[in-house]
């Protein structure tokens, strides 16, 4: 599963559909605690965030919206997490250490969170966690192995997003997750799966307080579906205090958090759907962090007094799906021609203000196993594109449609630049603006010949990424790309613990995919954090969200 | 209306035309505002026809090396976020805006007036006809009770985003206006002696309607038409502004304003301001023409105006 | 007693008319493509989940069944839920309609303040600058796109001069809003005695109110001017003038007699602005009712659209009824 599929989907949906209603609605909400005035005395320990949307459902089994993950990351803890390092390009920012460590167990550099230690099978067929003792949930219940078992049984039982994750780590039956004592739990697979440990820190896999969930759900709702929509029951550093959808969410730090109370006592997430408005609020000092700003706004804010903008390479990828089931994109040459015609440099400098870099591959370049060598589309080459079209029998060009998300200004501008470039090679591109709310449906229906997609795979692993986008049976393979060799390589890699063999196989997949070009390879967009300069501690996660517990205010 | 009947010779017809033209010119001299209206409308039409000759750049070709340039000699009105020349786009825009507005208004006028004429004609006949007429009027009430803008967006959402749907939406929301207008005209005219006379002489309903009623009720419709075209241009722009209008990057004033919306807050005012001015001036022009038609088409007011003109002449 | 009889006859039509409006809007929004269940459950929903939700929402029957269910809920005061806000439409509208009404009421009041004096003066001083100005103004005001004018005002007074508050809704972020009683922020702040909130609310109202007032003063001015001109030429007023009544009395008399048409145009504008202020609402992030409905249409969220159409139809009916009552109050002929 990907985060920003849904993440973005929902962000856009809400951004657009609410238009700009929310700020006003917020103002009319009873007891709204807001911004500076009310909080001046606690300013040092209060974090105000202008976000494009407040959480919809808080249950990550069903909801993939932006605010949901901010909430999950603050209110729940996972068993383990990646170690953090200082970003090589930005001394003010931390990031996860997701490199391949051939000598570490599971080849990852992780540290315990709810688990204080763990053992992992060298073949990655089982893993055993020893849980920390005395950890309390926000409802006061103590963490036991039973909570971990319940959490994964819930995924198997409900079979939505969690079901996907269970399947991804080859977990099929309930008895494969065993409580081996009050604080020991193990996962036992039928065959090796390299992602068994790597997927544990994924934001979709937090541990629930099963005691509270069972009590709240009762017999009618044994998996607490209703309860978890509006409440949190986890072992993380925050609890949700107030949630007014479309207006704001308020989080309070927990005094009894096992890792120590976080620096920011209160976090207010205000919904401000228009990016220009979020930028204004940050500039004026009304909020500490403004999320998801347009490139031009970031450039402008970088020069504003009291504001800092950190921008670092991230896992966000923007590309155009070329639907292999709709002619002429069933032809590899036509797809390659589209890539050679794409005005990438111009898009990066004009649309993204250089806060992006060429999409030199088909997965994030910061993930292990990435290989940029197969990228041929570095410079726009219209002559070559014309030749390819002629060879494919489209010497006179053709007409097609490109769908883009109405809520994303960068997509519209990119589309217009591409349209102009394609006209040069005789391709008449019609643009189709799709309302944000229905955009994702349009992508997943796979009926558009060309459609933008903005996403990042949430697990720093090549097999995971390739499987998502290019396996013919993957739900996320939105370009209808089918290559049996690719399927075979991916299937093989998913069932082996031999990391070197996997990396080799995934390298071959990248080579094939880059040549056959099921996408127009667009850009990696940076993750940009626009914050007041006195807010410190920002950490970049591959999940592209922020975690409140990282922040503190410089005195 | 000038009486030009079949008995007149070519010569007198020509004279009548000259007379009308002279009168029009005199009116325009006396009322410079009206003249301004005709100038604007003509200018916009000329722009629409000769756009390729006037515009210095292609209206839909991006030039990313020149994005968001302020107004200069090279780009008179500056460039937008994709580097397209705003002046050229403004010059091309009336092709879309006028097409939509004129087509939409015409359709609504023809369909609306026709239904209005039928309804007005049968309303007082009793029986099935008047029942049907009552039903149509109630239906029009219901349609008009809808908030216009929401209704128009809903129509575009249903038919899909295309030129045709926008035209259909505009025709739809305007039709009740003509329906009512025509109906009240017909009601008034139908009871006049000469109409009754031809009825008695055995003319069919259709003949009466075509020969007497419709020609005699055209004046207010014409005045309404011009004002309505201006209003439809505004509605088209508004639809584009919320994203239910033309497809990007079609040069259309409303969609240009919307695309420039983001830039205005970061300080680049030109992508939104210039198309707005062009839009306002055009609508202003049509409103002026409408006002003049209103005066000229109303016999009483025309006579009053002619009187004033004569007085002025004498005074001069 | 005539008035009671009149109102009685009038209300006979209200029922069928409202029914017609609900029926037509229901059929209309049902035609909008988009599956609400898919949008509510998100991309990872299974077929069974979709089917279950459709059944829950009563969307599995024929369109007639669905309409029947909608009507039944409606009678119980249930307008359904919006999948976008996840809240009952009724609650949403209870916040958004006051937002819109506050905005357009003040706008029309200001428009009257501009339009009436100008119109009266233009009608009385026939060859003056005022008359010229009024002629231009009346035509020009109707030609300006309101959303564009709003943008320009924001650019001038917020971006450049920085005297207006951010175009971000009805009240400042940092200000604690008053406890909601009527959801009209001005009234609520007064009730709560919350002066800071009142000040902030008024500040946020200035630009959108000016935007709408400048544009809607046009038709008011034209109507006032036209009827005043007619009145001033009427026998009654000529007679008054000849009797040597002072100018101010004559104007007042003439104006009093032109009031009905001014009231009519104001009521028409009011009815129009309930949905027609939506673009200004969008530009100023107002969170009004029109904006709510437009987002509903664009996102196949049908309940908000239906709720909005129903609410505004009822409001229009109330306004027209009020107008009739005002006629009775001001027009001696009808009162007689």
β-pairing, A428-434 vs A399-405, is parallel
| Helices first, then strands: H and E counts in chain C | 15, 0
Report the distance separating Cα A165 and Cα A171, nearest Å. Answer: 8
Residues 13-42 of B with CB under 8 A from C: 33
pLDDT at A419: 94
Inspect the interface and report whether the beta carbons of A431 and B64 lie closer than 8 Å.
no
Contacts of C333 (CB under 8 A, 6+ apart): none
Residue A188: φ, ψ to 5°: -125, 115
Query: Which residues of chain B lie closer than 8 angstroms to A435, CB-CB?
Result: 243
pTM for this predicted structure: 0.81
**Cβ–Cβ under 8 Å, residues A434 and A9:** no
The CA-based angle B106-B112-B114, given to 5 degrees, is: 100
pLDDT at C46: 65
Contacts of B115 (CB under 8 A, 6+ apart): B136, B175, B179, B182
Residues 235-274 of B with CB under 8 A from C: 237-238, 241-244, 254, 257, 261, 264-265, 267, 269, 272-273
Beta carbons within 10 angstroms of residue A177's beta carbon: 21
Q: How far is A84 from chain C (nearest CA, A)?
A: 32
Q: What is the C-alpha R_g of chain B?
A: 23
Report the distance separating Cα A499 and Cα A485, nearest Å. Answer: 19
In the Cβ-directed half-sphere of B10, how many Cα atoms lie within 13 Å? 0
Of B60, B65, B81, nearest to A413 by CB-CB distance is B81
A210: left (phi over 0), alpha (psi -120 to 50) or beta: alpha
Contacts of C283 (CB under 8 A, 6+ apart): B261, C147, C150, C151, C154, C167, C208, C211
More confident residue, A212 or B137: A212
Best residue in C35, C37, C87, C174 for a mutation probing chain A (most A CBs within 10 Å): C174
Q: Per DSSP, what are the bridge partners of residue A529?
A: A310
Q: How large is the ipTM?
A: 0.86
Report the distance separating Cα A490 and Cα A363, nearest Å. Answer: 14
CB contact B266 to A (< 8 Å): yes
Cα–chain center distance at B280: 14
Handedness of CA B10, B12, B17, B22 (dihedral sign): positive
pLDDT at A329: 96
Query: Which residues of chain C lie closer than 8 angstroms to A277, CB-CB?
Result: 166-168, 285
Inspect the interface and report whether the beta carbons of A416 and B249 lie closer than 8 Å.
yes
Between B and C, how many CB-CB pairs are < 8 A? 132
**Cβ–Cβ under 8 Å, residues A458 and A363:** no
Best residue in B151, B154, B277, B312 for a mutation probing chain C (most C CBs within 10 Å): B154
pLDDT at C333: 59
Inspect the interface and report whether the beta carbons of A281 and C46 lie closer than 8 Å.
no
Report the distance separating Cα A399 and Cα A381, nearest Å. Answer: 20
pLDDT at A552: 93
Residue A82: φ, ψ to 5°: -70, 145
Inspect the interface and report whether the beta carbons of A20 and C43 lie closer than 8 Å.
no
Confidence of residue B194 (pLDDT cuts 50, 70, 90): confident
Inspect the interface and report whether the beta carbons of B149 and C159 lie closer than 8 Å.
no
Report the distance separating Cα A417 and Cα A498, nearest Å. Answer: 44
Give the closest residue to C122 by CA, choosing from C112, C114, C133, C113.
Answer: C133
pLDDT at C323: 79
Contacts of C40 (CB under 8 A, 6+ apart): C53, C83
Residues C193-220: what's their mean pLDDT? 93
Residues B181-201: what's their mean pLDDT? 78
β-pairing, A289-290 vs A307-312, is unpaired
β-pairing, A289-290 vs A399-405, is unpaired
Handedness of CA C56, C61, C66, C69 (dihedral sign): negative
Query: Which residues of chain A lie closer than 8 angstroms to C99, CB-CB?
Result: 24, 28
A285: left (phi over 0), alpha (psi -120 to 50) or beta: left
Query: B245: which DSSP letter?
Result: S
What confidence tens digit (pLDDT) does each residue in C86-120 have?
778 998 899 899 999 999 999 999 999 999 999 99
Report the distance separating Cα B70 and Cα B213, nearest Å. Answer: 56
CB neighbour class for C135 (10 Å; exposed up to 12, middle 13-18, buried from 19): middle
Contacts of C5 (CB under 8 A, 6+ apart): none
pLDDT at C54: 76
**Cβ–Cβ under 8 Å, residues C30 and C63:** yes
Q: Please give the residue of chain A at the shortest CA–CA distance from C186.
A: A28
pLDDT at A40: 44
**Cβ–Cβ under 8 Å, residues C286 and C104:** no
Residues in chain A: 555
At A200 the three-state DSSP class reads coil
Best residue in B36, B44, B145 for a mutation probing chain C (most C CBs within 10 Å): B145
CB contact C164 to B (< 8 Å): no
pLDDT at B306: 80
Percent helix, strand, coil in chain C, to 5, is 75, 0, 25
Confidence of residue B9 (pLDDT cuts 50, 70, 90): low
What confidence tens digit (pLDDT) does each residue in C252-282 have?
888 888 888 888 889 889 988 988 899 999 8
Report the distance separating Cα B24 and Cα A470, nearest Å. Answer: 72
- pLDDT per residue, tens digit, chain A (555 aa), is 443 333 333 333 333 333 333 333 333 333 333 333 444 446 788 999 999 888 878 888 887 777 788 999 999 999 999 999 998 888 888 999 998 898 888 889 999 999 999 999 988 899 999 999 999 999 999 999 999 999 999 999 988 888 888 988 889 999 999 999 999 999 999 999 888 998 999 988 999 999 999 999 888 889 998 899 889 999 999 999 988 777 788 999 999 999 999 999 999 998 887 787 788 889 878 889 999 999 988 998 988 889 999 998 899 999 999 999 999 999 999 999 999 999 999 999 999 999 999 999 999 999 999 999 999 998 999 999 999 999 999 999 999 999 998 878 899 999 999 999 999 999 999 998 887 767 887 888 889 999 999 988 888 889 999 999 999 988 889 999 999 999 999 999 888 878 889 999 999 999 999 999 999 999 999 999 999 999 999 999 988 889 999 999 987
Diameter of chain C by CA atoms?
A: 86
Domains of chain C: 89-335 (1.10.3720.10)
CB contact C162 to A (< 8 Å): no
Q: Walk across the sheet containing A248-253 and list its strands.
A: A238-244, A248-253, A266-271, A46-51, A289-290, A527-532, A307-312
Q: Is the pLDDT of residue B315 over 80?
A: no
Q: Please give the residue of chain B at the shortest CA–CA distance from C149.
A: B276
**Cβ–Cβ under 8 Å, residues A14 and A408:** no
Between A and B, how many CB-CB pairs are < 8 A? 63
Confidence of residue B3 (pLDDT cuts 50, 70, 90): very low
pLDDT at A168: 86
Percent of chain C at pLDDT > 90 equals: 23
Q: Is the pLDDT of residue B39 over 90?
A: yes
What confidence tens digit (pLDDT) does each residue in B138-168 have?
778 777 777 888 888 888 888 888 889 999 9
Q: What is the C-alpha R_g of chain A?
A: 23
Report the distance separating Cα A175 and Cα C86, nearest Å. Answer: 37
Q: How far, CA to CA in Å, does A467 sit from each of A371, A492, B44, B227, C149? A: 16, 11, 56, 60, 51
Q: Per DSSP, what are the bridge partners of residue C88?
A: C81
pLDDT at B55: 92
Q: Please give the residue of chain A at the shortest CA–CA distance from C283.
A: A20
Residues 287-306 of C with CB under 8 A from A: 287-288, 291-292, 294-295, 298-301
Q: What is the C-alpha R_g of chain C?
A: 24
**A509-523 burial string, b = 16+ CB within 10 Å, else e?**
bbebbbebbbbbbbb
Give the closest residue to C104 by CA, choosing from C285, C286, C263, C261.
Answer: C286
Report the distance separating Cα A2 and Cα A201, nearest Å. Answer: 14
Inspect the interface and report whether the beta carbons of C143 and B146 lie closer than 8 Å.
no
Report the distance separating Cα A86 and Cα A538, nearest Å. Answer: 10
pLDDT at A39: 43
Report the distance separating Cα C13 and Cα C4, nearest Å. Answer: 15
Report the distance separating Cα A285 and Cα A178, nearest Å. Answer: 51
**Cβ–Cβ under 8 Å, residues A3 and A64:** yes
The CA-based angle A523-A168-A122, given to 5 degrees, is: 105
């Amino acid at each position: 599963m990907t985060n920003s599929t849904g993440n973005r989907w929902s962000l856009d949906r809400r951004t657009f559909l609410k238009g700009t209603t929310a700020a006003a609605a917020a103002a009319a909400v009873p007891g709204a605690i807001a911004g500076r005035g009310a909080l001046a005395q606690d300013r040092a320990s209060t974090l105000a965030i202008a976000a494009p949307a407040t959480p919809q459902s808080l249950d990550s089994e069903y909801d993939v919206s932006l605010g949901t993950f901010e909430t999950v990351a603050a209110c729940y803890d996972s068993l383990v997490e990646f170690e953090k390092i200082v970003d090589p390009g930005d001394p003010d920012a931390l990031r996860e250490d997701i490199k391949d460590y051939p000598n570490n167990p599971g080849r990852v550099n992780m540290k315990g969170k709810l688990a204080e230690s763990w053992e992992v099978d060298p073949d990655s067929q089982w893993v055993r966690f020893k849980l920390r003792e005395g950890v309390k949930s926000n409802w006061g219940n103590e963490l036991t192995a039973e909570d971990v078992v319940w959490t994964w049984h819930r995924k198997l039982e409900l079979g939505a997003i969690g079901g996907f994750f269970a399947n991804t780590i080859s977990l099929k039956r309930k008895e494969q997750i065993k409580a081996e004592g009050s604080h020991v739990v193990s996962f036992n697979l039928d065959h090796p799966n390299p992602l068994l440990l790597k997927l544990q820190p994924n934001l979709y896999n937090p541990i629930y307080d099963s005691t509270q969930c069972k009590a709240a759900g009762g017999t009618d709702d044994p998996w607490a579906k209703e309860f978890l929509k509006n409440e949190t029951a986890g072992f993380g550093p925050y609890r949700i205090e107030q949630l007014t959808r479309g207006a704001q969410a308020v989080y309070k730090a927990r005094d009894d958090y096992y890792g120590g109370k976080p620096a920011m006592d209160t976090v207010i997430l205000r919904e401000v759907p228009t990016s220009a408005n979020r930028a204004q609020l940050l500039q004026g000092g009304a909020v500490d962090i403004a999320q998801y700003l347009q490139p031009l706004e970031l450039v402008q804010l970088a020069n504003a007094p009291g504001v800092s903008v950190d921008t670092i390479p991230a896992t966000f990828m923007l590309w155009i799906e070329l639907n292999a089931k709709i002619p002429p994109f069933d032809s590899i040459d036509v797809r390659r021609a589209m890539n050679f015609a794409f005005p990438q440099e111009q898009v990066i400098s004009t649309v993204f203000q250089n806060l992006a870099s060429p999409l030199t591959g088909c997965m994030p370049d910061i993930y292990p196993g990435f290989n940029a060598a197969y990228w041929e589309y570095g410079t726009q080459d219209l002559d070559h594109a014309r030749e390819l079209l002629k060879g494919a029998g489209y010497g006179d060009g053709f007409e097609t449609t490109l769908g883009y998300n109405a809520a994303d200004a960068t997509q519209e501008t990119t589309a217009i630049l591409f349209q102009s470039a394609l006209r040069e090679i005789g391709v008449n591109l019609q643009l189709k603006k799709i309302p944000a709310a229905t955009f994702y449906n349009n992508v997943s229906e796979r009926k558009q010949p060309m459609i933008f997609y903005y996403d990042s795979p949430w697990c720093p692993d090549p097999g995971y990424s390739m499987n998502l986008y290019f396996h013919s049976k993957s739900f996320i393979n939105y370009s209808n790309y089918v290559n049996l060799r690719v399927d075979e390589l991916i299937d093989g890699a998913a069932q082996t613990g031999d990391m070197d063999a996997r990396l080799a196989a995934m390298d071959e997949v990248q080579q094939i995919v880059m040549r056959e070009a099921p996408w127009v390879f667009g850009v990696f967009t940076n993750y940009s954090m626009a914050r007041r300069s006195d807010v410190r501690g920002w950490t970049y996660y591959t999940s592209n969200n922020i975690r409140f517990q990282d922040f503190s205010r410089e005195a | 209306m000038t009486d030009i009947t079949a008995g007149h010779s070519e010569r007198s017809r020509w004279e009548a035309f000259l007379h009308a033209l002279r009168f029009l010119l005199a009116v325009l001299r006396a009322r410079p505002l009206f003249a301004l209206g005709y100038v604007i409308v003509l200018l916009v039409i000329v722009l629409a026809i000769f756009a390729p000759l006037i515009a210095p750049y292609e209206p839909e070709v991006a030039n990313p090396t020149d994005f968001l340039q302020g107004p200069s000699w090279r780009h008179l009105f500056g460039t937008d976020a994709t580097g397209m020349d705003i002046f050229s786009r403004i010059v091309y825009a009336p092709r879309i805006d006028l097409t939509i507005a004129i087509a939409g208004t015409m359709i609504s006028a023809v369909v609306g007036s026709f239904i209005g004429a039928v309804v007005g004609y049968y309303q007082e006949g009793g029986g099935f006809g008047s029942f049907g007429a009552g039903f149509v009027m109630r239906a029009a009430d219901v349609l008009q009770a809808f908030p216009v803008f929401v209704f128009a967006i809903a129509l575009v959402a249903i038919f899909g985003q295309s030129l045709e749907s926008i035209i259909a939406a505009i025709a739809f929301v305007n039709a009740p206006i003509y329906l009512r207008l025509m109906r009240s005209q017909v009601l008034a005219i139908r009871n006049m002696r000469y109409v009754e006379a031809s009825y008695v002489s055995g003319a069919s309903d259709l003949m009466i309607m075509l020969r007497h009623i419709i020609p005699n009720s055209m004046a207010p419709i014409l005045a309404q038409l011009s004002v309505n075209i201006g209003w439809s241009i505004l509605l088209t722009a508004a639809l584009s502004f919320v994203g239910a209008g033309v497809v990007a990057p079609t040069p259309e004033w409303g969609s240009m304003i919307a695309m420039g919306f983001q830039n205005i807050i970061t300080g680049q005012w030109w992508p939104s301001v210039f198309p707005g001015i062009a839009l306002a001036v055009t609508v202003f022009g049509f409103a002026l023409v409408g006002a003049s038609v209103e005066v000229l088409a109303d016999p009483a007011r025309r006579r009053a105006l002619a009187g004033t003109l004569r007085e002025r002449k004498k005074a001069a | 007693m005539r008035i009671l009889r009149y109102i009685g006859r009038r209300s006979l039509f209200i029922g069928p008319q409202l029914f017609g409006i609900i029926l037509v809007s229901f059929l209309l929004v049902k035609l909008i493509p988009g599956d609400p269940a898919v949008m509510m459950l998100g991309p990872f929903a299974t077929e069974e989940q979709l089917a279950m939700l459709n059944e829950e929402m009563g969307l599995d029957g024929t369109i007639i069944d669905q309409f029947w269910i909608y009507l039944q809920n409606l009678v119980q005061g249930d307008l359904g839920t919006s999948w976008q806000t996840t809240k009952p439409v009724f609650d949403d509208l209870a916040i958004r309609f006051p937002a819109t009404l506050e905005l357009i009421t003040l706008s029309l009041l200001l428009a009257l303040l501009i339009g009436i004096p100008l119109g009266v003066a233009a009608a009385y001083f026939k060859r003056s600058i005022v008359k010229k100005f009024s002629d231009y103004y009346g035509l020009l005001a109707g030609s300006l796109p309101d959303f564009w004018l709003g943008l320009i005002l924001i650019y001038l007074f917020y971006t450049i001069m920085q005297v207006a508050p951010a175009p971000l809704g009805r009240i400042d972020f940092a200000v604690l809003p008053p406890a909601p009683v009527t959801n009209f922020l001005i009234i609520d702040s007064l009730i709560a005695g919350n002066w800071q909130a009142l000040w902030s609310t008024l500040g946020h109202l200035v630009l959108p109110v000016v935007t709408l007032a400048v544009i809607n003063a046009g038709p008011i001015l034209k109507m006032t001017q036209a009827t005043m001109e007619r009145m001033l030429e009427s026998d009654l007023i000529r007679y008054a003038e000849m009797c040597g009544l002072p100018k101010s009395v004559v104007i007042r008399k003439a104006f009093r007699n032109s009031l009905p048409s001014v009231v009519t145009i104001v009521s028409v504008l009011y009815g129009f602005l309930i949905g027609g202020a939506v673009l200004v609402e969008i530009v100023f992030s107002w969170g009004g009712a029109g904006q709510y409905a437009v987002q509903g249409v664009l996102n196949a969220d049908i309940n908000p659209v239906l709720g909005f159409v129903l609410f505004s139809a009822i409001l229009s009916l109330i306004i027209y009824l009020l107008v009739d009552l005002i006629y009775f109050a001001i027009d001696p002929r009808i009162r007689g």
